[in-house]
């Protein structure tokens, strides 16, 4: 009886393994720099001694600088993720893009540095794809462009960016683009939590697949609910953000400031401290 039970268990395990293979099993791969060259495509640099697949969960958290040296775009797809943390940097210096389609890209106390003018970071390149980008205490430097959506998308894209005390420098020729925000099923949001976040670069959008590419102001995006502060666009734009430069230029800068209630609380705390000192 014991042997028969084990045979059944083994058969079940084999069937289970086959099912995982059929559905596209994803793994968690952690950078350990075993290959010593700092290149993403070197299998020995990962704890599994394999180069990540597009649907894997990738972790870079040891403070290294990792260079993506591609024969293709860096892709995060099929529920996969890339998390860069712990003072690490992910860099790319060729003209290839980085795409997030049905996945998440997270920066935490880290940096993303794309140095080629033809680089693009695209959140939702493929039709009907979703993408999430989260940055906390981090910096993003793009010599090329940042896209929310694709310039020929036909809708059904849910794309969100969430930034906390982070900076995005997209001070290239084009900058930051929101593609076809009015298409059916599209939902683009750029949420900024609290003060201390800056975004620099020309801002534009196209409201239809065949429409004209137009410059847009951050205040317009706020009024439309695309730009939010702590998840909301209640109140006046000027209560939460200041801008410098001119819309439509590469030197156009958005800066988030502490919300008025927080600033007031800080002020009251300071007054209380002074009164206690006087007493």
What would the pLDDT profile of 173-198 be if each residue is shown by its tens digit?
Answer: 678 999 988 888 899 999 999 999 99
- In this predicted structure, what is the pLDDT of residue 173? 67
- For the residues 47-67, what does the mean pLDDT come to? 97
| Domain interval for residue 257 | 27-278
Q: How far apart are CA 246 and CA 215, in angstroms?
A: 11
Inside any domain, residue 103: yes
pLDDT beyond 90 at 71: no
Q: State the pLDDT confidence band at 221, using cuts at 50, 70 and 90.
A: very high
Token pair recorded at residue 147: 């896209």
What is the count of structural domains for the chain? Answer: 1
Among the listed ranges 27-41, 83-97, 98-112, 116-130, which one has the minimum average pLDDT value?
Answer: 116-130
Inside any domain, residue 205: yes
Query: Which comes out higher in pLDDT, residue 191 or 264?
Result: 191
- For the residues 124-128, what does the mean pLDDT come to? 89
Query: Which comes out higher in pLDDT, residue 270 or 245?
Result: 245
- In this predicted structure, what is the pLDDT of residue 194? 98
- In this predicted structure, what is the pLDDT of residue 3? 35
Q: How far apart are CA 173 and CA 170, in angstroms?
A: 9
Give 194: exposed, middle or buried? Use CB within 10 Å, 0-12, 13-18, 19+: middle
Inside any domain, residue 21: no
Query: Which comes out higher in pLDDT, residue 227 or 261?
Result: 227
DSSP for residue 1: -
- In this predicted structure, what is the pLDDT of residue 114? 94
Query: Which comes out higher in pLDDT, residue 7 or 248?
Result: 248
The closest alpha carbon to 40, from 27, 48, 52, belongs to 52
Strand pairing report for 253-256 and 241-244? antiparallel
- In this predicted structure, what is the pLDDT of residue 242? 98
- For the residues 124-146, what does the mean pLDDT come to? 94
Q: Give rounded-to-5 percent helix, strand, coil for the chain.
A: 20, 35, 45
DSSP for residue 127: T
- In this predicted structure, what is the pLDDT of residue 273? 40
- For the residues 159-166, what does the mean pLDDT come to? 98
pLDDT beyond 80 at 271: no
The closest alpha carbon to 245, from 171, 177, 153, 163, belongs to 171
pLDDT beyond 50 at 239: yes
- In this predicted structure, what is the pLDDT of residue 127? 84
Inside any domain, residue 236: yes
What pTM was estimated for this model as a whole?
0.85
């Amino acid at each position: 009886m014991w042997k028969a039970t084990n045979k059944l268990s083994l058969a079940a395990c084999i069937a289970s393994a086959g099912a995982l293979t059929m559905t596209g099993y994803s793994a968690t791969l952690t950078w350990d720099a075993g290959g010593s060259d700092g290149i993403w495509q070197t299998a020995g640099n990962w704890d599994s001694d394999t180069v990540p697949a597009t649907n894997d969960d990738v972790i870079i958290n040891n403070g290294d600088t990792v260079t993506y040296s591609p024969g293709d775009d860096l892709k995060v797809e099929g529920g996969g993720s890339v998390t860069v943390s712990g003072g690490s940097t992910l860099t790319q210096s060729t003209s290839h893009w980085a795409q997030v389609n049905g996945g998440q890209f997270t920066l935490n106390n880290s940096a993303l540095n794309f140095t080629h003018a033809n680089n693009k970071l695209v959140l939702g390149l493929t039709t009907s794809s979703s993408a999430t980008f989260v940055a906390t205490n981090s910096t993003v430097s793009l010599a090329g462009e940042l896209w929310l959506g694709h310039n020929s998308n036909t809708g059904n894209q849910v794309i969100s960016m969430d930034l906390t005390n982070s900076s995005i420098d997209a001070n290239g020729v084009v900058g930051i683009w929101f593609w076809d925000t009015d298409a059916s099923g599209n939902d683009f949001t750029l949420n900024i939590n609290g003060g201390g976040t800056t975004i620099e670069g020309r801002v534009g959008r196209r409201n239809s697949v065949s429409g004209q590419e137009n410059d847009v102001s951050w205040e317009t995006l706020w009024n439309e609910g695309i730009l939010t502060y702590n998840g909301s666009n209640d109140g006046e734009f000027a209560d939460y953000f200041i801008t410098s430069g001119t819309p439509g230029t590469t030197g156009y800068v958005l800066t988030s400031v502490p919300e008025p209630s927080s600033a007031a609380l800080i002020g009251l705390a300071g007054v209380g401290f002074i009164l206690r000192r006087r007493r």
